[in-house]
Amino acid sequence: MIATTRSASSVSEPTLFVALELSKQVWKLALTSGFGVAPWVTSVPSGGMVALRRVLARGGRRFGLPARARVVSCYEAGRDGFWIHRALTAEGVENRVVDSASIEVSRRARRAKTDRLDALKLVAMLVRVWYGEQRVWREVRVPTVADEAARHVSRERSGLLQERTRMMNQMRGWLATYGATLPRRRPAAWWTTVRDWAGAALPAAVQARVARTEARLTVLGEQLTALEAQQRAAIAAAAPASAGQRLVQLKGLATTSASVLLDEGLVWRAFRNRRQIGGLLGFAPTPYDSGEVTREQGISRAGNARLQATMIQLAWSWVRWQPLSPITQWFHAHFGPGKRGRKIGIVAVARKLLIALWRYVTDRIVPAGAILRA
């Protein structure tokens, strides 16, 4: 989720502003004390919190700030995740994690880009945000350690499913080059019974490759089974009034989908309104209206890709298993039997449904017309 915050600070309050431009080897730091003060740019080794602490102390003295002056920092969300935020917070620094896609850039066809320039740009924007300017950037909601760790289960399952699909498609391709097809039922050593276009067995090298792939698929299946059992156990062990238990009570919504919704932040991101949760999902219209030119550019794909895939699946399931829901009736009334129209309309259903589920798990407002399991 993208969070927005306001500062309650005074312009006269002594504050040290620090922007971190992160890389694998070196962190570039830009420090300043406010508007009109030339920033000081320096570097510390990547992950060097001791060196960073020394730089902060030196920066305070350099700008003539008191020893207990407020320290505010920011960095772009990326490869390093949120451990830097937690380390800075533990040091008493007020840190903000910035969505890199929201940072304003020059519209020139070619612009200079270095870590130094990026750090200077970031610290200037930090000062503007701190003193109350709105819409400068968007900030990322930082999860707790437990919430961040919980996401690994559903994300690992998604990765394993993609890997399984990839290997299945590979085997289909290998067999297609010999005029054969992948059988639906595949007993042990099934590749030895496959025949090519002339009725002959597959070459030994191809059979060996298929056998190794099938062995990897077996391991993948075992891992998927273990992960799904872990998700079911987590939902079953939750309190009856928990968000997970309430979600699986809805007909058409199973444990796997509920786990993805919760892991991706349906609750822990602490949405304040439907616009924020809609921003996380994306699927928003992108109109182009300038001068005399007006057209619709289609549906934006910006947003959480894992949540988008899950919500599209849930939307089709909702339309099937919740016929009394106003969302389902709206879908049928507006998009009818047309195949293309239904594919477009299901995206709107996904967006409406996610907002309804958010209200259900946070405010306990049951979606209108929803059928609950016993």
Q: Considering the entire predicted model, what is its pTM?
A: 0.83
pLDDT at 9: 54
3-state helix, strand, coil in the chain (%, to 5): 50, 15, 35
CA dist 220 and 82 (Å) reads: 30
Dihedral-angle region of residue 129 (phi above 0 means left; psi in -120 to 50 means alpha; beta otherwise):
alpha
The answer to whether the beta carbons of residues 280 and 255 sit under 8 Å apart is no
Q: Select from 146, 322, 311 the least CA-distant residue to 234.
A: 146
Q: Select from 309, 300, 253 the least CA-distant residue to 279.
A: 300
Low-confidence ranges of the chain (pLDDT < 70): 1-11
If residue 286 lies in a helix (H) or strand (E), which one and from where to where? strand 285-290
β-bridge mates for residue 43, sequence order: 28
Give me the torsion for CA of 160, 165, 171, 175, rounded to 10°.
170
Sign of the dihedral through C-alpha 99, 102, 105, 110 = positive
CA dist 70 and 48 (Å) reads: 21
Helices (H), 196-338: 204-237, 243-248, 255-263, 274-281, 305-321, 326-335
If residue 354 lies in a helix (H) or strand (E), which one and from where to where? helix 339-363
Sign of the dihedral through C-alpha 62, 64, 70, 72 = negative
CA dist 301 and 216 (Å) reads: 33
Beta strands at 40-45 and 26-32: parallel, antiparallel or unpaired: antiparallel
Q: The domain 2-140 is classified under which CATH number: 1.20.120, 3.30.420, 3.40.50, 1.10.150? A: 3.30.420
Q: Select from 71, 75, 73 the least CA-distant residue to 60.
A: 71
Amino acid (one-letter) located at 116 = R
For 116, the token pair is: 């130094």
Residues with Cβ < 8 Å from 202, sequence gap 6 or more?
175, 178, 180, 191, 194, 195, 196, 210
pLDDT at 297: 86
- Measuring CA to CA, how many Å separate 163 from each of 98, 288, 314? 32, 38, 22
134 half-sphere exposure, CB direction, 13 A CA radius: 1
N-to-C CA span, the chain: 33
CA dist 312 and 37 (Å) reads: 50
pLDDT at 3: 54
Phi, psi of 173 (to 5 degrees): -65, -40
